Amino acid sequence: MQRKKSPFVLHRSVPIKYVKKPIELSHCKRKLEKIFSKSLDLTFREVGDRFLIAYLFSVIDFDRLERTVIAPLKEYLHEDNEEKFEQEPPDRYHRLFTSGVINLEREWIVIARQMIKGSAVVFERNGTKPALIMLPQIERRQVMEPEGEKTVRGPREGFIEDLQVNMGLLRKKLRTPSLVFEEMTIGSISETRVAIVYVKGICDPEIIKEVRDRLSFINIQSVLDTGYLEEFLIDHPSTPLPQAEHTEKPDKLVAEILEGRVGIIVNGAPSVVIVPTIFTQFIQAAEDHYENYWYATALRMIRILGITLALFLPGFWVALTTMHQEMLPTPLVLKLAGAREGVPFPTAVEAFVMELAFELLREAGLRLPSQIGPAVSIVGALIIGQAAVEAGLVSPSLVVVVAVAGVSSFLIPSYRLSIGLRLLRFVVLFVSAVLGLIGLVLLAILMLVHLNSMQSYGTPYFEPLSPIKYSQFRDFALRKDWRSKAKDVYNIGLNRAENKVSPERPAISEMGNYRKE
């Protein structure tokens, strides 16, 4: 589907016109001042009485401009050659300017866009078309290990905020012409470059087409991060569970696209979105494939246990100690009753207060500088927990339960899944406090039904658990050794085809700022 181009509004009072022929330097200067509203970074440089150079000093490499444009023009004007202006402008400009991409353009909208991207415009008196010389100022962050995806073993490269560098990191790892990048522009004002990446011959063409269509229908003013696009790419925006994977590691993205997925890279964002996504992806880490498969399997088992404890432990404990004490051994019941003596609040209220306090400390640790954030979280939790117990506001057993549930959430490799489970934990806690273990079991069943009903681009979200695929189940809780993985290559597109389900776009009511067809 062809993307509809959004109107580029430079200034509401400036109609889109062409540069007049022959060129009048004073007119061109006034025109650019009107287009950019006399912005502070708009700069003009006259070379003799024949050339006018216009550029934005905030985005241009001034040293290259001086060396490759201004200096050659000055030298050219001082040449003692009567025929120097008889040569055609394209040939003359390519001979004069030794660096940068050179284009001739008459349309003001194109000239303004190119200036924003780092071009200098050379107007020649009585000429026909100004020359655009691409000289962008390139300031890039060094390629470093991502802060949120540190590993003990494996590659330590991470994406940065430059689209070209990120594409190069992928090319370096996949030296094949089958690696395909497609670029489009999204954002009616920001005009952000967005690229989709996939491996031709491995990724299902229907998935590629659906990703391309969903991106082309997005109608927003700006795209500053991949999070702006994610809600347009997922199938079920009303659920708190993540449906698109994020990564800042090139090796992880390469592993995913080799399984038939598509990556979406945004210029200016170090994080990449990966679709389609299934639930089991969020309990697997890139490091699993670099370690011994026995060790990686043990880690996956621990993560599954961590997900269970993080979601259900506080609610289970509240239901057990308030409505089902008969299920506990008598000595334990007496011990808990003695510990709760003098506590003025019900167990459910204690649990809610402690969970909120834990979330406050966790959020405070994230917002503080990295040097003191972890220390504040740990020390704050110890001090608040100890003070609350000594003051008789909460029971010691509940502090232990909340702490175990909180630490268990840190075992989850995906930060986004961890956030979703933390939100659902409050729902589980409320239902358990009202309905006891029966409500907890019913809520767990509803969650499983919800997971089974979800799809991501035609792929069941809870695959390989539902529908059960024994050939892939072994690589869910366990980590296959590489000899087995080499024989049984996983491809999410082939699985979708086996289920005979095609990717479907969300309903119009859920589309938000999608363009209408």
Supply 208's token pair.
Answer: 């590629």
- 210, 262: one domain: yes
Domain, as residue range, for 181: 147-276+503-510
- 122, 222: one domain: no
Residue 126 has pLDDT above 90, yes or no: no
- 298, 433: one domain: yes
- 179, 312: one domain: no
Q: For residue 497, name the pLDDT band (cuts at 50, 70, 90).
A: low
- Give pLDDT, residue 428: 94
Burial category of 140 from C-beta neighbours within 10 Å (exposed 0-12, middle 13-18, buried 19 and up): exposed
In a domain, 397, yes or no: yes
The least confident of 28-32, 81-85, 250-254, 365-369 is 81-85
- Give pLDDT, residue 86: 56
Q: For residue 254, name the pLDDT band (cuts at 50, 70, 90).
A: very high
- 297, 422: one domain: yes
- 220, 299: one domain: no
Could you report the per-residue pLDDT of 443-452, keeping only the tens digit for each? 999 999 999 8
Q: For residue 311, name the pLDDT band (cuts at 50, 70, 90).
A: very high
- 365, 409: one domain: yes
Asked which of 74, 104, 134 is the last residue of a domain, the reply is 134
In a domain, 54, yes or no: yes
Could you report the per-residue pLDDT of 182-204, keeping only the tens digit for each? 999 999 888 899 999 999 988 98
- 334, 296: one domain: yes
- What percent of the chain has pLDDT above 70? 82
In a domain, 8, yes or no: no
In a domain, 13, yes or no: no
- 82, 172: one domain: no
CA–centroid distance for 27 within its chain: 44
What mean pLDDT value characterizes the chain?
82
CA distance 480 to 234: 29
- 443, 319: one domain: yes
- 128, 182: one domain: no
Residue, of 338 and 55, whose pLDDT is higher: 55
Q: 3-state DSSP call for residue 380?
A: helix
Asked which of 104, 134, 164 is the last residue of a domain, the reply is 134
In a domain, 204, yes or no: yes
- Give pLDDT, residue 309: 93
Could you report the per-residue pLDDT of 147-176, keeping only the tens digit for each? 878 888 888 889 998 898 999 999 999 988
Q: Do residues 218 and 515 make contact, with C-beta atoms less than 8 angstroms apart?
A: yes
Domain count, the chain: 3
Burial category of 109 from C-beta neighbours within 10 Å (exposed 0-12, middle 13-18, buried 19 and up): middle
In a domain, 482, yes or no: no
- 118, 173: one domain: no
In a domain, 139, yes or no: no
Residue, of 163 and 510, whose pLDDT is higher: 163
- Write the CA distances from 388 to 75, 354, 364, 391, 406, integer angstroms: 80, 9, 19, 5, 17
Supply 300's token pair.
Answer: 């996956």
In a domain, 480, yes or no: no
Within 8 A by CB and 6+ apart from 440, the residues are: 312, 315, 316, 319, 428, 431, 432
CA distance 104 to 124: 12
Residue, of 15 and 297, whose pLDDT is higher: 297
